[in-house]
Amino acid sequence: MQAEEFRMVREALGAFVADHRCTSAEPTTAQRAAAQKALDGLGLVELRRSTRPLATAQECALLAEDFGRQPMTASLLGTVLLAPEVLRLVEAGGGDVSYEGAPTIALGRDLRFGGGSAGDYRAWDTEGADSALYVAADGTVRSLALGDAAPTTDLLRPVRVATTTAPQVVGRLGREHVCAWQAWALVMVSSELVGAAASFVEQAASYARDRVQYGRPIGSYQAVQHLLADATVAVEACASATRYAAWCLDRAGPDAALTAARVAKAEVDVSALEAVYAGMQVFGGVAQTWEHIAHLYLRRVRVGATMLTGTAELLSALAVPHSPDATDPTEAT
């Protein structure tokens, strides 16, 4: 995408985020529908749908990061960035896909790659979706129907049971494309968490400048400054790792891209969560109330830090030299 085109896309998404950000933990059905309709109207689903995508991985990662900066109900990751990438990879592998509808992605019950027992799947980020795509460990891609709502800590992002009644086989991904898919998913989820953590730390710093205690802004106290400094360093660490991983998606092979993505997700799982915890301490008691939006950031980052694959599994996979025949802890069924 040309620089000017991407700037316009990013500005359009920024305007959407500003207009439809959630200020309450209980958005109405009408608010959810309006936000999703407005997002659909931007036409972003076409960014990665074709075998020669309009946007690079780095551009999509920046969009995910921008989207994560505010609490949102609309589905950008599931229906715009993740599901279309699965279909694109199926077509890139020679599959003939004529998929109708608006799919999101399905994961195991624990919201991880191939997790849970057979047939026990969860469709994630289902706002505006009418089906879900599940990528099995062997690369088989199936379309699953959406069932009842499933419990989730993230109050704004709906999760539903993905039913396996008469599942439709959409296609199959080869080993390299499975690697590419997992790397893509790890980078996009990590990018959103980077945006959420960065925005929350910025809000905490702004609050510290304005909140006066004992006759002085709390940001003038060294203890608060240290908290915010450490949180800023943590955000920069995970942002650097994630943006490098996005670069690898565009420039490196699938194995190298997956390694970089695992490094990024492992860093984000720890650093983004530490940054949000620090922000919660700076906000103090007000952040513990239902009415404040702080818990919406905390919930999103906590869920995101356990998604796709756990930190222990990531570190185990990174510790073992990869070969095409090696058993991958993140691909266990």
In this prediction, residue 322 has a pLDDT band, given cuts at 50, 70 and 90, of low
The residue extents of the domains of the chain are 177-331
Q: Which amino acid is at 278?
A: A
Q: Which CATH superfamily is domain 177-331 in?
A: Butyryl-CoA Dehydrogenase, subunit A, domain 3 (1.20.140.10)
At residue 167, the pLDDT reads: 72
Q: Which residues contact 163 (CB under 8 A, 6 or more apart)?
A: 144, 145, 146, 147
At residue 277, the pLDDT reads: 97
At residue 118, the pLDDT reads: 65
Its pTM surpasses 0.85: yes
Strand-pair partners of 212: 217
Q: Which residues contact 93 (CB under 8 A, 6 or more apart)?
A: 171, 172, 173, 174, 177
In this prediction, residue 325 has a pLDDT band, given cuts at 50, 70 and 90, of very low
Strand ranges (E), the chain: 103-108, 121-124, 131-135, 140-150, 159-172, 212-213, 216-217
In this prediction, residue 331 has a pLDDT band, given cuts at 50, 70 and 90, of very low
* Per-residue pLDDT at 327 exceeds 80: no
Judged by average pLDDT, the poorest of 50-54, 208-212, 229-233 is 50-54
At residue 181, the pLDDT reads: 95
At residue 145, the pLDDT reads: 93
For 215-231, what is the mean pLDDT? 95
In this prediction, residue 98 has a pLDDT band, given cuts at 50, 70 and 90, of confident
At residue 49, the pLDDT reads: 83
In this prediction, residue 333 has a pLDDT band, given cuts at 50, 70 and 90, of very low
Encode pLDDT of 233-260 as tens digits. Answer: 999 999 999 999 999 999 999 999 999 9
Strand-pair partners of 308: 112
Which has the closest alpha carbon to 104: 73, 81, 136? Answer: 81
Mean pLDDT for the chain overall: 91
* Between residues 310 and 51, the one the model is more confident about: 310
Encode pLDDT of 285-298 as tens digits. Answer: 999 999 999 999 99
* Per-residue pLDDT at 66 exceeds 50: yes
* Per-residue pLDDT at 193 exceeds 80: yes
